[in-house]
Structures are given as C-alpha cells and as structure tokens.
Amino acid sequence: MSNRNPQLNRNGTLQHLLSTEGLPVSILLNILDAAESFVGVTERDVKKVPLLRGKSIFNLFFEPSTRTRTTFEIAAKRLSADVFNLNIAVSAQTKGETLLDTVDNLSAMNADMFVVRHAQSGASHLIANHVQSDIHVINAGDGRHAHPTQALLDMFTIRHYKRDFHNLRVAIIGDILHSRVARSQIHALTTLGVPEVRVIAPKTLLPSMVDRLGVRVYNDMSKGLKDIDVLMMLRLQNERMQAANLPSPEEYFKYYGLTSEKLSLARPDAIVMHPGPMNRGVEIDSSVADGKQSVILPQVTFGIAVRMAVMSILASSQVSGT
Amino acid sequence: MKSIQLPDAEKLFNNLVKEIQQDGPKDFALVGIRTGGVWLAERLHRKFSVTQPLGMLDVSFYRDDFNKIGLHAQVKRSEIPIVVDGAHILLVDDVLQTGRTIRAAINQLFDYGRPATISLAALVDRDGRELPIAAQYIGAKLELPAEKKLELQCANDGKLSLSLYDKNPAPTV
C-alpha cells in the first residue's frame, strides 16, 4: 500500500486534492462533468444548493490571495457550507503556534475541510497526512509545487471552448520556473490526452529538465506559437524572483509579452487564458487581454463551479470510504 | 419462488396519458426528473403539443442521502427553460416510492421561482412512502417486494420497458 496516491482513499475515490499529478483520467473527468452541472446552478437567480449544509470549511491562507480565496469562499457558500476565513498572517502563527497545532485546534472545532495556501511546497500534503480520515484537504497553492484547482478550471475552460483534448496544441508561456500553476497544468493536460504541450519561456525562467514532464521547450515565441490552439499565459512572479532572472519587465514584454501581433502567429481560433492577476504590459498586452480571443473572465466564472465540484466530490468520498 | 410479472410500460404510459387528458391542468409546463422521468416527459410533451419548452431536473444536489451515498457520479445539468414564477408545473417521474426524490425536486423548483401549482405524474406508484407525497396521475399502482428496485428503460427505438433488480447492498459512487 506504500505506493498509494495520498489523495485517494482505499476505494480509489478522491479524499484530498493536493496535486493533479498522478490523478487518474476518470477522476479528472468526473470533476469536469460535475462542474458542468454546477455551472447551471451559478446561472440561476438562487445560486445555492443544499449539498454541504452543516459542513464547516476553513480557508487557511498563509500567503496573500484575493481571487482564489474569494472563489473558494463563494463556492463553499453556494454549496450551503459554513466558511471560515483565517488570516493566518495576523493570527496564532505569529504568536509561535506551529502549522499542525493550528490544524489540530481547528479540527477540534469540527472542521470538515481545509483549503490551504502556503508558501512552502508540500504544506497541504503535510496537513492531509496529519488530519483524521473524515477531514478533507484542498491544496489552493503550495510554493512552486502545485495549484490543482487552477489547473482544473483551466481544463474546464479548454473543454468548454475546444470540446475535445485529443487534437489540441497547447502552449504555456512565461515564468514556468516559479509557477505551481504551470506544473499542475502540464500534468492535467497530459493526463487528459493533449498530444502536444509546449512551454515557451526564456532559459532563465525554465526549470532544469522541464522536458522530462513531457513537454516541448521553446525559447522563441515566433516558433513556439505556430499552430497553437490554446495559449496559457503565466504571471511574471516578481515576488518570487530572488536573483535577477530578467533584465527588465520592458525587455520581457518585448520578447515574451503577448501582443496582437504575436497572437496572430497562433491558430486564428486560438483562445488566450491567464490565471490572474495579470501584469498588463509585462506578460500580456491590454489589446489581447480584453480582446475577442481572451477567455480570462470566463475562467474566473468557471473557477467557482469547478471548486464546487471538487468540494462535493471530496465530501462524497468519506461516505463511500469504508 | 414465483417470478414477478411486470406490466408493459407502453400500456402504463397510455394510462398515464388518459389520466392527464381527463383532468390535467390547462397550459401546463412539463418538467421531467432524470433519467426516466425525462423520457416520459419528452413523450408527454409531444403527445400534448405543450407550447412551453421541456424542463429537466437532476435532483442530485438536493438529495437527502448525500451524507450516506455521496454525489451521484453521473450528475447532469438541470435545464429549466421556463419562467417558474406563476407556472402550472406537471412534474414527471418514472417510479414513485419513498417520495424523497419528489421532495428534492420540489425544493429545487422553488429555487427557480414560485410556481402557481405543481402536480405529479408517475408511471408507477409503488408502496413504501416515507413522506406525505402523492401523485395526481399514475400509469399503475404496483405492490412489489421492498428489496427490489424497479427501473424504467428506454430502447434505441424509444420503446419503454420495466425491469426489476435486487437492490445493490454496497452503494457505489
């Protein structure tokens, strides 16, 4: 049993969502299909269903986030769960409490689910291994490691506009080195059967041996964007850049910023995605971000339905667990 | 043990049509419950040339057994293309037994608006009610062993049939 994926319980159903890596295609599709029905709910006047009534969901954000935390909160509320947002930066941890002590205290308050964002890779994994078997953990971003719900909402968006994964060329463009989003996207895309995934970035923003993830590496936008169906832009993560990986944001924009001119190198029906928050004029030009091929705002809307799906499926797993 | 004879679902459907013809509401909107109820509602929609578009409900998000059996794996999107406020809704399901599905469906409909009336048509009304819910129009009333699950099937040519299963002791998700 030692090789068992820590995200799955004994029945092979999803107990925690920590990473898209190693998840079977059936579980990925199950989440995307459930999200489809939740999109229907979010389009109604009453955007709430009673599915998780009485459940307590704690948002544990050890790193600042507005969009992700808010969409998790909205998703939980639309499932009728009670949501508690803990601003850890100004909380017990500054008084010296350890991460697992914080988790134990909240578990003693009958938490059913933790949504965790942490600057350290593996933080949500640590919590998932620590909690009792009836508690679920969702990784909302850990260090440079993974951001699975972002990747899943990206997959949902791609399927919504392109219908099928099996004939697509997808390019992930920008700061791959610091991006947990890119890693989660690559695992999800390859599992779902996308035949060609490219990464396009300057050498200084690529992790070593990135090609081992099954992607094709390009350093030149004009070559990398040819015949592309889906462009997944990444944010230039200034806060994670310790060394001088780049001469200047202006220089970066000149070579890697997505302008209408560069976009015209991709397929004419290509879609442009961005996980946000965007640095306009750095990785993407406003004319593209607000242009016809941009699906950046639908991504945000779909993000709520996808997180509703993940929370419901996790809450389902404990009942079928034994 | 004597095998149980099930009636012809097509005959039951004709009975249901007759019942609705006799004293059904005028100008009603049809809403079928997935999956069997939708097949029946589609047939009724054509039969009565209902002007309002057909509604389809998946009650998975409103079930009261989520804590016991979890989310249904093949949950589908609900489509309610009608204005529910003030509508006379004829809800359609294949088998009425405990009444819990209908309770979920009624709750769900109220999240779309306040209907003027909701009535219920069921192809089969079998015993085992756990809630005070009744169908106004039925194809037949059947008494069946409690451990058996009655299911409606729809062939490729649209022909309806009924079959009986042993209830699965271990629910799958």
**Residue A49 to residue B111, Cβ atoms within 8 A:** yes
* pLDDT tens string A280-313: 999 999 999 999 999 999 999 999 999 999 999 9
Does residue A319 sit at the B interface (CB-CB below 8 Å)? yes
Q: What pLDDT is attached to residue A3?
A: 58
**A118, A303, B39 from A178: Cα distances, Å:** 14, 22, 52
> What pLDDT digit, counting tens, does each position of A88-127 carry?
765 656 666 788 998 999 999 999 999 999 989 999 999 9
pLDDT of residue B164: 92
State chain A's mean pLDDT as an integer: 91
pLDDT of residue A239: 66
Whether the predicted pLDDT of A242 surpasses 80? no
CB contact under 8 A, A319 and B67: yes
How much is the average pLDDT of A37-44? 91
Identify the DSSP state of B119.
Answer: E
Element containing residue A85 per DSSP (H, E): strand A82-87
Chain B residues within an 8 Å CB radius of A39: 77
Distance CA A231, CA A308 (A): 25
Provide, as residue numbers in chain B, all residues whose Cβ is less than 8 Å from the Cβ of A36: 77
**Record: contact B111-A44, CB cut-off 8 A:** yes
Residue A138: what pLDDT? 98
Nearest to B112 among A30, A39, A44 (CB): A44
pLDDT > 90? residue A238: no
Distances (CA, A) of A88 to A17, A61, A82, A101, B93: 21, 6, 18, 13, 50
Percent of chain B residues past pLDDT 70, beyond the cut: 94
pLDDT, tens only, B78-123: 999 999 999 999 999 999 999 999 999 999 999 999 999 999 999 9
Alpha helices in B30-146 (DSSP H): 36-47, 66-69, 100-110
- Reported confidence tier of residue A318, pLDDT bands at 50, 70, 90: low
- Which range is least confidently modeled, A179-183, A301-305, B67-71, B141-145? B67-71
Amino acid at the residue A280? R
Q: Tell me how long chain A is.
A: 322
Tell me if chain A has a CB within 8 Å of the CB of B69: yes
Q: How far apart are CA B132 and CA A10, in angstroms?
A: 39
Check CB contact under 8 Å for B173 and A41. no
To the nearest whole number, what is the mean pLDDT of chain B? 91
In angstroms, the separation between the Cα of residue A34 and the nearest Cα of chain B is 6
Task: Give the mean model confidence (pLDDT) for residues A186-211.
Answer: 94
pLDDT-derived band of residue B68, with 50, 70 and 90 as boundaries? confident
Q: Extract the tokens encoding A3.
A: 């090789």
What pTM, to 2 d.p., does this model score? Answer: 0.90
- Chain B CB within 8 Å of residue A322 CB: no
Q: How far is A31 from chain B (nearest CA, A)?
A: 9
B165 interfacial to chain A (CB closer than 8 Å): no
> Strands, E, within chain B: which ranges?
29-33, 55-57, 88-96, 117-126, 137-142, 148-154, 160-166
Residues of B in contact with A37 (CB under 8 A): 58, 60-61, 75-78
Min Cα distance A320 → chain B (Å) is 7
Residue with tokens 């640590």: A126
At A244 the pLDDT is 58
Query: Is the Cβ pair B69, A30 closer than 8 Å?
Result: no
* Residue among A83, A82, A84, A106 at smallest CA distance from A93: A106
Q: Please report the ipTM that was assigned to this predicted complex.
A: 0.81
Retrieve residue A219's tokens: 């350093």
The pLDDT value given to residue A321: 42
Find chain A residues with C-beta within 8 A of B77's C-beta.
Answer: 36-37, 39-40
Lowest mean pLDDT among A37-46, A150-159, B36-45: A37-46
Q: How many other CB atoms are found less than 10 A from the CB of residue B73?
A: 15
- Predicted pLDDT at A2: 46
B65–A contact, CB cutoff 8 A: no
Q: Which residue of A has its CA nearest to B68?
A: A319
